[in-house]
Structure 1
Amino acid sequence: MSQTVQITSPRQVEVIDEPTPDLSAGQVRIRTTYSGISAGTELTAYRGSNPYLNRTWDPHLRMFVEDSGGFGYPVAGLGYSEVGQVVEVAPDIAGDPGVPPVGTHVWGIWGHRGEAVLPAEKLRGCTVPPGLDPIAATFARVGAVALNAVLAADIHLGETVAVFGQGVLGLLATRLVRLSGGTVVAVDAVPGRLQKALEYGADTVLDARDGTAGQQIRKLTDGRGADVAIEISGSYRALHEAIRSVAVSGRVVAAGFYQGDGAGLRLGDEFHHNRVELICSQIGGVPPAVAGRWDQSRLNQTFLRLASDHRIDPAGLVTHVIPVQEAPAAYHMLDRNPYDALQVVLTFP
């Protein structure tokens, strides 16, 4: 049996025992070591606001449609930040140089479950780099999300970049912007996160609570405004302030997972009068301008190489390492007291 985290209904989580699947041809069995909780996407399922709970994504129309074909509760094994050890390889692929052998630490996406059986093809290129702390490898996908947003921002050397939201994704974006040659203004409402932003490369930090971040950024740039802003918190009010902060014809990258109606977002104001370019960054694809050179695999590998080279410290964002049995309390903390934690990682026996 394998322990699996299951969201049974809004704000209700339990840890259940699931049968471990048999190993078939072409497959690999992994025993999970660490699994990071996403305080963005996963909490939308936890809170019941995720659009997939009420509608169905039609891949041909590229639209959500009103029917009952979407996923519903219980939602078992949600999660996309896993690291584990290969414990079994199907005989037909044993010895294949592209298949990680037994004992290898790998990263990937198989959800919050103690054991998983995956096609070996999904693990090609997913070996944890030598010398890298396995817990840092749980950030492979999360880091790719942040890097994708930075690529979409199209930063040039010496430009001022405002990063709205300094949770895990925002802090990673702040560091990646700095590595890209940008000057970072980090914005958040939590003093502790602003302090962390300074550690991760922000040149200036602004408290979002007084609602004047856009004006302050203009003062910092002699009235011009930021060259580009990345909004990665998923707050409509933050997105509106990001739009207010950029220069005429400036770019705003909307990288958060926005929920519900856009309360606080007023597109007739600065967006309209300053002809602001608003684009979306979403991990399902890379920015069109770089699609001939970049893909999701390169995003993952680049981020892990930066971590291996000690140019970025994802493990430094882990504030809680919690046994999987305590998963209900972990989700409750992230939902009710989000300022008490950055990255929460579950461990499995």
Structure 2
Amino acid sequence: MERVVQFTGPRQVEVAEHESAPLPAGHLRVRTRYSGVSAGTELTAYRGTNPYLTRTWDPDARLFRDGAAGIEYPVAGWGYSEVGEVTEVSPELVGTPGIPATGDLVWGIWGHRSEGIVPAERMTGHTLSPGLEPLAGAFARVGAIALNAVLAADLHLGEDVAVFGQGVIGLLTTRLAQLSGADVTAVDALDGRLATAQAYGAVRGLNARTDAVAERIREATGGRGADVAIEISGVYPALHEALRSVAVGGRVVASGFYQGDGSGLRLGDEFHHNRAQLICSQIGGVPPQLAGRWTVERLQQTFLKLVADGRVDVKSLVSHVVPAADAADAYALLDERPGDALQIVLEF
């Protein structure tokens, strides 16, 4: 039997069981070991705020259409950070160079389910390196999101960057920006996360609730403001403060998944008067100016290499490893007490 974590309604989680499906040609069967829970995108489906629940995405027009939902409850098998063991290979693929073999540990995307049936071409090059712990593979996608934001920021050696939001992706962004040669100011509403950010390379931490963030950043940069701000929390007031924090002509990379109307975002203020650049970073693609050399696959592979080389620590970000049967408790923890958790991983 296959076990699948699904949302049956807002803030309602169950683990359903289904008969395992036969393996189609051109596919691999993977027994899941770990599956990382996203505290951003997944919580929008858990809470019922995801736009796909009320509108439909038109991939040709690149527009959301009103009138019908793109997804409906139950929402089954969300998740994009899986690690598992190959248990079956379609017979015509056995021995094909580059295709994982039975017994290999692989990373990829097949959702919160006890086994995945995955097209083989999506798993080429996804065998976990011998030097990596299996849990590290669950960070391939979130690491790629952070790296994508840093590439979109177009950082240069010696620049000042403010990273708004110090959850898992924000902390990885802080580390990658520091590795890129920037002086990082970390911003979050939780002091514990700010302490972790400084361990990840931030030169200072500012509390979004108690510090005058934009003013403090300008003081620290001789009145100029940050060269770049990366907003990763998906909170509109944080995006507004990021726009307040950058220098004249500075860049703001919006990498959070913003929900609903933009309450707290005033584009007639500093954004307008300081001629700030506002750039969207989203993991569906790389920055356009890098599309000739970079791909989403390269983002993932590069991040895992940084982990394997010891330049990025992901193990310390795992705050909870939870049996898949207790998934409802894991989502409630992230939703109600975010300060008590960082990366939650479901174990199958």
Partner residue in 1 for 2:340: 340
* 1:58 Cα deviation after fit: 0.3
Corresponding residue for residue 170 of structure 2 = 170
1:201 aligned onto 2:201: yes
Show the counterpart of 2:22. Answer: 22
- Which residue pairs with 2:283 in the alignment? 283
Is 2:53–2:69's contact at 8 Å kept on the other side of the alignment? no
The 1:211–1:261 alpha-carbon spacing in structure 2 relative to 1, beyond 3 Å, is: farther
Amino acid at match of 2:56: T
% identical aligned pairs: 65
C-alpha separation between the residues in 1 aligned to 2:164 and 2:118?
37
- Match of 1:143, as an amino acid? G
**Residue 56 of structure 1 aligns with which residue?**
56
DSSP-derived class of the 2:84 partner: strand
Mapping of residues 82-231 of structure 1, within 5 Å: 82-210=82-210, 212-231=212-231
Q: Is the 8 A contact 2:55 2:65 kept in 1?
A: yes
**Aligned-pair CA distance for 1:211:** 5.3
Q: Residue type matched to 2:201 in 1?
A: G
CA-to-partner distance for each residue in 1:236-271, whole Å, 9 max, x for gaps? 000000000000000000000000011111111100
Q: Alignment partner of 1:285: what SS?
A: coil
Q: Contact 1:30/1:117 (CA < 8 Å) preserved in 2?
A: yes
- The Cα RMSD (Å) is 0.7
Corresponding residue number in structure 2 for 1:261: 261
List aligned pairs for 1:73-84, cutoff 5 A.
73-84=73-84
Does the 8 Å contact 1:20/1:116 carry over to 2? no
Q: Is the 8 A contact 1:95 1:101 kept in 2?
A: yes
Contact between 1:29 and 1:117, CA under 8 Å: does it hold in 2? yes
The one-letter code matched in structure 1 to 2:257 is F
Residue 67 of structure 1: aligned partner: 67
Paired residues of 1:159 and 1:227 also in contact (CA < 8 A) = yes
Which residue pairs with 2:271 in the alignment?
271
Measure the CA separation in 2 of the matches of 1:69 and 1:260.
Answer: 16
Letter in 2 for 1:74: P
Using the TM superposition, name which of 155-164 and 92-101 deviates more: 92-101
Contact 2:5 2:15 in 1 (8 A): yes
Residue aligned with 2:155, SS: coil
The whole-number CA distance in structure 2 between the counterparts of 1:158 and 1:249 is 17
Q: Deviations over 1:295-323 (max 9, x none)?
A: 00110000000000000011210000000
Q: Which residue of 1 aligns with 2:323?
A: 323
Instruction: Return the offset for 1:67.
Output: 2.6
Compute the displacement of 1:28 (Å). 0.8
Structure 1: how far apart are the matches of 2:22 and 2:116? 10
In 1, Cα distance between equivalents of 2:82 and 2:50: 21
CA contact (8 A) 2:35 2:346 kept: yes
Output the TM-score relative to the length of structure 1.
0.99
Deviation for aligned residue 1:69: 4.8
Compared with structure 1, are the counterparts of its residues 211 and 66 closer, same or farther at alpha carbon in structure 2 (3 Å cutoff)?
Answer: farther
Distance 1:172 1:69 in 2: 33
Displacement of 1:158? 0.2
2: distance between equivalents of 1:264 and 1:25? 51
> 2:307 aligns to what SS in structure 1?
helix
Residues 313-335 of structure 1 deviation map (CA, whole Å, 9 limit, x = unaligned) = 11210000000010001001111
Give the residue type in structure 2 aligned to 1:167: G
* 5+ long unaligned stretches in structure 2: none
Task: Note the residue ranges of structure 1 that are not aligned, 5 or more in a row.
Answer: none
Q: CA deviation at 1:182?
A: 0.4
Aligned counterpart, 2:2: 2
Residue 45 (str. 1) matches residue 48 (str. 2): no
- Distance (whole Å) between structure 2 residues aligned to residue 265 and residue 281 of structure 1: 18
Deviations 1:177-232 (A, max 9, x none): 00100000000010100010011110111111125101100000010000000000
Q: Is the 8 A contact 1:7 1:74 kept in 2?
A: yes
**Moved >4 Å (runs of 4+):** none
* Matched positions, count: 348
